[in-house]
Amino acid sequence: MTNTTLVWWALLCAVSLFNVLAWSASAAMAHRRSLTLHPATRQAVRLQVLLSAGYVLGCAYRSAFPVYDVGRLCLVDSWLSSVLVGRSVATVAELCFAAQWALLMRGIAHAHQHRLSMRAARLVMPMIVAAELCSWHAVLTTSNLGHVLEESLWGLCAAALVTSLALVWPRCSRELRPALVAAAAIGVGYVVYMFQVDVPMYWTRWLAEAAHHRVPLTLAQGLLDAAGRWTVTHQWTDWQSEVVWMSMYFSVAVWLSISLIHLPGRVTLRLAAPTPQQLRTA
């Protein structure tokens, strides 16, 4: 293993260990604080803790067993590094992360009776489920077109959430506004990265596949291939194109997930959904 690859992998594992410890501390803190909260808010905090656990542990697993899905490349020679296992873990983790945002946005929309934000919250999970299906199609067929669609959906979903946060911001309390501004700023950075870097990267890869007339695998062929074929490589040149997104994904995104544990306590959730009359005035 080259020194650069080893250092990068060690950093991923170290950050993941830190993330697990940070989640444990946050979960304990959230539990203590939730004892004084309204039952509806307490339930939201508990859901955030559980969903964050799914994302934190999923990212820790993928840090320990990094995989470049389409290329079937991995660092550890084990069935734990198979694309089928890694993609399954990623799917559960990403759905947990998306559910965290949907839950938070739903709570904010209910608390401030904002109809548009509620609609955006309801769109999060269907969009991300569609993104996961596109991802699986790309991974199984080894065609990067699926990744183009997947990352576009993630970017559009983030853009919708940022817009919702901006619209609901004037109605929020002064205490909550700094957290919403920070979330919106990070969201804007994420959207810019997705459509300026990530989506174009996969688009370029797909164009290269088309130029070389590469025939994608069928779904059945891809399922067998993803389950039983992995190529161990420690060369930095094989991993260089994946380093930026993996490093940010397994660090900053996880920190966001952990921070979402603490936000429901700062949002006054309503006991019931707003009435139609209230929504019409939103």
Angle at 259 between CA 274 and CA 173, to 5 degrees: 45
Contact between 12 and 66 (Cβ < 8 Å)? yes
For residues 272 and 258, give the distance between their C-alpha atoms in angstroms, rounded to a whole number. 27
- Quote the CA–CA distance of 28 and 45 in Å, as a whole number: 11
**Number of domains comprising the chain:** 1
Residue 236: what residue type? W
Structure tokens at 231: 């190529």
Closest Cα to residue 140, out of 207, 67, 218?
218
* DSSP structural state of residue 267: S
Helix ranges (H only) for the chain are 3-34, 39-64, 83-112, 115-141, 145-168, 177-193, 199-211, 219-228, 236-249, 252-259, 276-280
Residue 238, domain CATH: 1.20.1070
Tens place of pLDDT per residue across the chain (282 aa): 678 999 999 999 999 999 999 999 999 998 888 777 777 778 888 999 999 999 999 999 999 999 999 989 999 999 999 999 999 999 999 999 999 999 988 888 877 777 888 888 899 999 999 999 999 999 999 999 999 999 999 999 999 999 988 888 887 777 778 888 888 899 999 999 999 999 999 999 999 999 998 899 999 999 999 999 999 999 999 999 889 899 999 999 999 999 999 876 555 444 333 444 444 444
Give the pLDDT of residue 264. 67
Burial class (CB in 10 A: 0-12, 13-18, 19+), 36: exposed
- Global confidence as pTM: 0.87
- Give the structural domain span for 156: 3-280
State the Cα–Cα distance between residues 239 and 222, nearest whole angstrom: 22
C-alpha to C-alpha distance for 227 and 222, rounded to whole angstroms: 8
Residue-level pLDDT at 216 = 93
198 contacts 151 by C-beta, under 8 angstroms: yes
Tell me whether strands 67-68 and 73-74 are parallel, antiparallel or unpaired: antiparallel
Q: Tell me, what's the pLDDT at 275?
A: 42
Question: 6-30 burial, b if ≥16 CB within 10 A, otherwise e?
Answer: eebbeebeebbeebbebbeebbeeb
Name the residue with tokens 């946050």: 26
Q: Which residues contact 68 (CB under 8 A, 6 or more apart)?
A: 74, 238, 239, 242
Tell me, rounded to whole angstroms, the distance of Cα 231 from its chain centroid: 26
Is the alpha carbon torsion for 230, 232, 234, 236 positive or negative? negative
